[in-house]
A and B are shown apart, each in its own frame.
Chain A
Amino acid sequence: MQAGARTVWRVPALREGKRMKKIKKAILPWLYSVPAYALIGVIVLFPILYTGYISLTNMNLYHWQDYRFVGIENYVRALGKIDSGFLSAVGTTIIWTAVNMLLDVTLAYVMAVGLNVEGLRAKRIYKTLLIFPWAMPAYVSILVWRVGMFNTEFGLLNKLLVAMGGTKTDFLSKNVSAFLSCMTLNLWMSLPYMIIMIDGALQSIDRSMYESAELEGANAWQKNLYITIPSLKKIMAPVVVMTTFTTFKQFDIVYLLTMQKGSVSGSTMQTIITYAHQNAFVSNNYGLSSAVSIVIFAIIIVFSAWTNRGTTEA
């Protein structure tokens, strides 16, 4: 600080150059990021604004060009009328997210703690094998499950059923069984990630805590409850929040299993995202679909503001 001040005082001629430098410094960050802004502006920001605009019009298949402004009619229809199907999709999505997250975290916790039991020599092998479902491309996994597991002719599940004396069942044709099928697949796909993350977090817990707990006579249950879980909470929070968002936004599983174009399975299960997609690309209610999209965006913003409170970017 002192050295800097002295330099300026001693060499006044440098001031002009310094101002130039200052201007350059003000422009430079923008210069660096203009291409990114342009790209994001056209591809991400503008379509969102445009979606907001469409949500206020009656644009649909018949009004492709000559649509008109209808105000908040689409929002009223989505949120106010039970038979629009949006509210039940919201319900399904909430149940879907809650059940999946509960099972995901609980099962992953049990498996990760089990992996860290002393003396389990094959831990690395198990971990490597467990990673496979995570490493597979998601859409391949879903299609593989559709063809290889749930399919009535080829599906392994039906083969097992028939072998055990049951009858062939189309798991994806009824709402409840479709929900459970989607959930099974979602857990199959998301558990490996959660297990690896919890396993990583477990390594950061101070071993000496367990030792002193053992000296005090704590049993395994108490060690889990009072040492492991509280220590994991903080480290795992971002991962859990992130996974919750992914689960909430899950589209591919429901779409590819039950509502592919030309091979709708028969179940009417809808999450909010599939609902928005269906209204845009199947029933061509662009206005309604856009209104729903904006509502979903609002939900996501509120939810992320709520989970982010307290954490600020340095």
Chain B
Amino acid sequence: MGKTMNKKIKLAVLNLFYVCVCLLGLVPILYILLLSVSGGSGALTTGNTVFPERFTVENYRRILVEEPFLRWLFNSAALSVGTMVIAMGTSVTASYAFSRFRFRGRNAAMQLLLLLNAFPQILSMFAIFRLFRLLNLLDSHGGLIFIYAGSMCIFGIWNMKGYFDSIPIEIEEASKIDGAGNLQLIVKIILPLARPAIIVTAVMILIFVWNEYLFATTFMMREESYTLAGGLYQLQANDYSRSWPLFSAAAMLVSIPILIVFFCVQKYMVSGLTAGGVKQ
């Protein structure tokens, strides 16, 4: 009797603890959400209350209509898709080659890729900047796409190679006997089998580009060529305009699609990561 009572108290304490932790974790997000629907930027600055006097969607209307938000959205979408196409196009075949062929220099090449990936791209940003200036690629979305695609290509190769490794080679041999050519083999057999890995990799590339602000703000000079990340950065950087509620609305709009995508692929991300961990 005493034991069950004890257990109940323990669980109650534990529940209380987690409710507090979850609340603490969500406070910044909830606060921004609250800011984004509060009317009048003056009310919040002066008062000490957290809750706004009235609720409004005015901030959302203003961000969509008065700021070049849709333009930024379009830029982000174009950059994401462009990067994904180039990075996936180059890395799918390369990771397949690394997984299936044992050729001279294979190990060296893979180690080199790993090494290059360890180099934080921020550190070579100046070199890229100088190079792009020379090539007249500054302030061009094409140039930015290449920068993103370059680093994402390495990520894609390593990410998908592991999955290709797990596809039994017997399947390929069987279809070769049935007379499938190399290209046919990849398109008709391997790609459909590797679909989960390809989708996860592609989504992660999309998220990466969507969330990248540093190169986007350094390499893009005009406000109309900004991505969402760059635009959002710009909104909060304008300290003088005090457009916090506007910024909050934009922050919510930018995060929601990512949150949705994240919760859709999260299952795969965790299992993929831990599976890799166990293998090592």
Question: For the complex, is B266 an interface residue (Cβ under 8 Å from A)?
Answer: yes
* Contact assessment for A277 and B122 in the assembled complex, using a CB-CB cutoff below 8 Å: yes
- A281 to chain B: which residues have CB within 8 Å? 125-126, 218
Interface status of A290 (Cβ within 8 A of chain B): yes
Interface residues of A in 253-298 (CB under 8 A from B): 255, 260-263, 273, 276-277, 280-281, 286, 289-290, 293, 296-297
In whole angstroms, how far apart are the Cα atoms of A156 and B120 in the complex? Answer: 33
**Secondary structure call for the B interface:** helix
* Chain A min CB distance to B150 (Å): 3
Q: A148-B31, A201-B274, A238-B280 are in contact. Are A163 and B48 (CB under 8 A)?
A: yes
Residues of chain B within 8 A (CB-CB) of A33 are 93-94, 97-98, 109
Question: A197 at interface (Cβ–Cβ under 8 A)?
Answer: yes
Output the nearest chain B residue to A300 by Cβ-Cβ distance. B118
Q: Does B85 make an interface contact (CB < 8 A)?
A: no
Q: Is A47 an interface residue (CB 8 A)?
A: yes
With an 8 A cutoff between CB atoms, is A80 at the interface? no
Q: Which of B145-196 contact A (CB under 8 A)?
A: 146-147, 149-151, 153-154, 157, 165, 182
Q: Say yes or no for A180: interface residue by CB 8 A criterion.
A: no
CB distance B258 to A137 under 8 Å?
yes
Please, how many angstroms separate the alpha-carbon atoms of A149 and B10 in the complex? 33
- Are the CB atoms of A32 and B123 closer together than 8 Å? no
Is the beta-carbon distance between A119 and B126 smaller than 8 angstroms?
A: no
Is residue A306 within 8 Å, beta carbon to beta carbon, of the partner chain? no
A45 CB to closest chain B CB (Å) equals: 6
A40, CB-defined interface residue at 8 Å: yes
Q: Are B28 and A148 in contact (CB under 8 A)?
A: yes
How many pairs of residues, A versus B, come closer than 8 Å at their CB atoms? 250
Size bracket of the A interface: 35 or more
Q: Verify if B79 is at the interface (C-beta below 8 Å from A).
A: no
Q: Once bound together, how far apart are the Cα atoms of A256 and B242, in whole Å?
A: 17
B74 at the binding interface (Cβ < 8 Å): no
Question: In the complex, what distance in Å separates the CA atom of A203 from the CA atom of B247?
Answer: 41
From the candidates B32, B113, B125, name the one contacting A148 in the complex (CB within 8 A).
Answer: B32
CB-defined contacts of A162 to chain B, threshold 8 Å: 48
Complex contacts, B96 vs chain A, CB 8 Å: 32
Residue of A whose beta carbon sits closest to that of B50: A159
Are A137 and B210 interface neighbours, CB within 8 A? Answer: yes
Q: Determine, out of B58-66, B99-107, B197-205, the stretch whose residues face the partner at the interface.
A: B99-107
Q: Is the CB of A120 within 8 A of B11?
A: yes
Chain B residue with the shortest CB-CB distance to A133: B25
- Residue contact A137 to B94, C-beta cutoff 8 Å: no
| Contact of A1 with B by CB under 8 A | no
B220 to chain A, nearest CB (A): 14
Would you list which residues of chain A between 128 and 154 have a CB under 8 Å from chain B? 129-133, 135-141, 143-149, 151, 153-154
Query: Which interface class (under 10, 10 to 19, 20 to 34, 35 or more) fits B?
Result: 35 or more
Q: A35-B89, A36-B153, A197-B270 are in contact. Are A289 and B126 (CB under 8 A)?
A: yes
Q: How far does the alpha carbon of A118 sit from the alpha carbon of B48 in the complex, in Å? A: 42
Instruction: Say whether A29 contacts B106, CB under 8 Å.
Output: yes
Given known contacts A132-B25, A260-B237, A273 and B101 CB-to-CB distance under 8 angstroms: no
> How does the 8 Å CB contact mask read for B95-136 relative to A, with 1 for contact and 0 for none?
011101101001101100101101111111111101100000
* Cα–Cα distance between A281 and B153 once the two chains are bound (Å): 26
Are B127 and A51 in contact, CB atoms less than 8 angstroms apart?
A: yes
Cα(A154)–Cα(B31), bound, Å: 10
Asked if A30 CB lies within 8 Å of chain B CBs, one says: yes
State A281–B146 Cα separation when bound (angstroms).
21
Assess whether A120 is in contact with B90, with CB atoms less than 8 Å apart. Answer: no
Q: Is B37 in contact with chain A by the CB < 8 A criterion?
A: no
- Residues on A facing B (Cβ under 8 Å): 25-26, 28-30, 32-33, 35-37, 39-40, 42-48, 50-51, 54, 111, 114-115, 117, 119-120, 122, 126, 129-133, 135-141, 143-149, 151, 153-154, 156, 159, 162-163, 188, 192, 196-197, 200-201, 204, 235-239, 245, 249, 251-252, 255, 260-263, 273, 276-277, 280-281, 286, 289-290, 293, 296-297, 300-301, 304, 311, 313-314
- 7 closest A-B pairs (Cβ-Cβ)? A43-B150, A36-B94, A293-B123, A47-B124, A33-B94, A32-B97, A29-B101
Query: Can you report 27 A-B residue pairs in the complex whose CB atoms are below 8 A from each other?
Result: A30-B97, A33-B109, A36-B91, A36-B157, A40-B150, A43-B146, A43-B151, A47-B131, A50-B124, A51-B123, A51-B127, A120-B11, A129-B22, A129-B25, A130-B21, A130-B22, A137-B255, A140-B254, A144-B248, A144-B251, A147-B247, A238-B277, A239-B277, A260-B237, A297-B119, A301-B115, A314-B165
